[in-house]
């Protein structure tokens, strides 16, 4: 991903779309999320109409193009990425947002570059590139977890609880847990913000770790499998 996550926000909150910008983007409720379809475009619909979207950069430029142009697919975006970022940037000044920031120990509002990086990370997740390791994990675990149904978590679950994959009982469709896919480098950053978010979900979340994007080796596959079997 060609995003510079080497900035204070992602050092503090982990390289995910968690942290205070998440609740600040939803001050008026989940349905009125500033990153949602109501204020920009449904990424799932966009991907359905444009299966050629595979990389983050494509997703970002397609969101903007569907704002500026009338695409023949019929979808229209109500904002560009920059406009989405601007609205979240400004929402930080709301009293409720100030409370959230204060609670997290953030002394001032996050700068625009931080906010747009966060928005890009969120929008880029809905691409093949963003989902690469999650899709791979589903493939590599499904044979052994044949009693279960594994599916990519929706953006909401990912944003709020840092769950990448939802595991359901195949017959009862009951949720039995979740899986978070992370490179081992994540765990060197100190604060494990993901685990903190996981705990709020109410189902167990196990972390499947891989070495790096180049070799893509699972480091604890059997361990994760054993939690479900």
Residues of the shown chain interacting with Zn ion in the complex, contacts defined by CB under 5 A: 71, 73
Output the smallest distance, CB 67 to Zn ion, in A: 11
Distance CA 146, CA 51 (A): 28
Phi, psi of 190 (to 5 degrees): 100, -90
Q: Which is nearer to Zn ion, 68 or 173 (CB)?
A: 68
Q: Which is nearer to Zn ion, 58 or 86 (CB)?
A: 58
Output the smallest distance, CB 76 to Zn ion, in A: 9
Q: Which is nearer to Zn ion, 62 or 134 (CB)?
A: 62
Output the smallest distance, CB 35 to Zn ion, in A: 19
Q: Which is nearer to Zn ion, 66 or 193 (CB)?
A: 66
Output the smallest distance, CB 73 to Zn ion, in A: 3
Q: Which is nearer to Zn ion, 73 or 213 (CB)?
A: 73
Q: Which is nearer to Zn ion, 53 or 121 (CB)?
A: 53
DSSP sequence for the chain:
------SHHHHHH-SSS-STHHHHTTTT-GGG-TTSTTTS--HHHHHHH-TT--SHHHHHHHHHHHHHS--TT----SS-HHHHHHHHHHHTTSHHHHHHHHHTT--SPPPHHHHHHHHHHHHHTTSHHHHHHHHHHHHHHHTTTTTEEEEEPPHHHHHHH---EEEEETTT--EEEEEEEEEGGGGGSS--HHHHHHHTTSS-EEEEEES-TTT--BSSHHHHHHHH-
Output the smallest distance, CB 38 to Zn ion, in A: 18
Output the smallest distance, CB 119 to Zn ion, in A: 20
The closest alpha carbon to 121, from 198, 183, 60, belongs to 60
Q: 175-183 and 205-210: which strand pairing? A: parallel
């Amino acid at each position: 991903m060609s995003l510079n996550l080497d900035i204070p926000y992602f050092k503090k909150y982990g390289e995910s779309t968690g942290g205070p910008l998440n609740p600040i983007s939803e001050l008026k409720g989940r349905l009125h999320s500033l990153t949602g379809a109501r204020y920009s475009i449904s990424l799932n619909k966009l991907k359905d109409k444009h299966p050629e979207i595979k990389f983050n950069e494509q997703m970002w430029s397609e969101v903007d193009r569907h704002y500026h142009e009338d695409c023949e697919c019929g979808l229209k975006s109500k904002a560009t990425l920059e406009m989405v970022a601007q609205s979240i940037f400004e929402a930080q000044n709301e009293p409720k947002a100030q409370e959230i920031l204060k609670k997290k120990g953030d002394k001032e509002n996050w700068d625009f570059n931080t906010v747009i990086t966060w928005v890009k990370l969120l929008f880029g997740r809905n691409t093949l590139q963003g989902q690469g390791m999650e899709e791979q994990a589903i493939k590599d675990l499904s044979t052994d977890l044949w009693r279960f149904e594994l599916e990519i978590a929706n953006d909401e679950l990912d944003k709020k609880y840092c769950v990448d994959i939802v595991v359901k009982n195949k017959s009862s469709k009951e949720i039995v847990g979740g899986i978070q896919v992370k490179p081992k480098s994540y765990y060197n950053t100190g604060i494990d913000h993901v685990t903190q978010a996981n705990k709020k979900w109410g189902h167990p979340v196990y972390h499947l770790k891989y070495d790096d994007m180049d070799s893509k080796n699972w480091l604890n596959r059997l361990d994760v499998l054993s939690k479900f079997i």
